[in-house]
A and B are shown apart, each in its own frame.
Chain A
């Protein structure tokens, strides 16, 4: 289990995306299969979106509700807290990951609990809760099947909705043989799933505390909604004495009637289902149980203050931007070395630490597909472009890159240099963009160089067309 601590530590002292992606690409067949699998999910999403004439209207409505909520977030959070407390829930506030982890640990310790179950929550991944609790001597079993698989492998999830999408069933078979006593060499999904079910059932029945995430928290009613396909959040929460729900401050929606819009968008965007199998509402605890909610900032209010990146907080964690991203599909989630990978992760992570995540906004071709699948219309690729400007301005770039860019500026900002030294200019263009910061030419590793022609268009035009040199 200490392997998972290592995985998270590695996440924080990581090689850049390009190197991790290159490592993932050593197994070309896996890249092909990873790409095809996620493209298939994207295609399922398309089919669902195409079936709804109101699809674009739904996206627009969701985006506007989120804009309004973010503009009034403080008031809605207070309203939510007030209603939740009236309902008998206990509300905690955490300024950062550390405080969040300490609150959760305090609740468990106070109830004398050292073994818990946890359903999917990207927030707890972001906060490194599992690793923190482990250090405090508390054993956590992740009950989402995909998360349990990566947990057994000592890895972090590689995708926010499909945590073990990078793993083949044979690899899962090997893990289960080692940890859950399934027959060696067995990779039959039915047998493996049944083994996981028996294993998790024991955990559900025996563990007294359950942690869940929160998909939506409704200010008007003080209730929160947890969406799963496996029912594991419900199994955990209903069988435990103590239910701790962890949510980021951006999970708020104003009214209950807004919920339908988001539920219709979430599963269609995520997996191409009309709705998640379970959309469970938690409003009031019954007499024997306690529900605590930990509401976490962890950099979100800072992002809220960055006007050009504020929209990133609209995210409902559907993962559609990952499934559609041609770079993500071919580099794997771990190459982003952050809890939330892919395009959305690349605009969220630099907010937390620019130095550490300076590579991520460049792990994109700016193709824009992410922006157009996003169910809440986050301008993801434009934000990637803007993060690049911010990161360079703040100095999170390399000197060699700056030198090359300044060289290009000198040539391209002067018609005289550009035109009178046409051959030299051609030589600079042949070399400069392809030699940045590298001893070897990265363009040439997989590609031939363009063949420079004898004459540029400008030269040809002057010779053949220009009347007076204009």
Chain B
């Protein structure tokens, strides 16, 4: 456990399980006080907070569906009040999928995925940039997907959201680069989580590394991108996919 950082804190959305939980634990290990956002599974989020506390870190469970336009402000206000410092690290990890082939994909499935996986990341980033611009530093990492880089039948809504997230990452990154703020994306491939548990394994068969990745392997990349050492990396997309997008 690193020395506690008191200059700022971190917010990870969708952090009650899977990749988000691993990222929250990793950032807490780097000394950040971490907001562990969750939508519905309070017990799981409290479990992540408890494991961080047990390891000597600081964390706070924060309820809120990021697709709700009022939630970003509520999350930031709660964290700023709890820790008395600005959010200097934002990880937009919350994501949903609602798979179907394009010819039969419903409007609801399209809208829900775009709202959570793309629009929410924009609103959270917009809110995060206010204190970051003032502080002249900050780190934002957007959790995209290999599906934002290459096709995966049945996921056109998810792919559109993640490709959009990658484009948003690059554009926002260049807008604020001269203020010492970096915005990057990671693009996980097939990672063992609840989200991939029910998905067809066709994609897994194409992974050159011949195995699924772990949430910790994604968290390690996010950790680098949020570190002081990554100060000259911005607008980048780091694939964490065992070679799937190569």
A and B interact: no
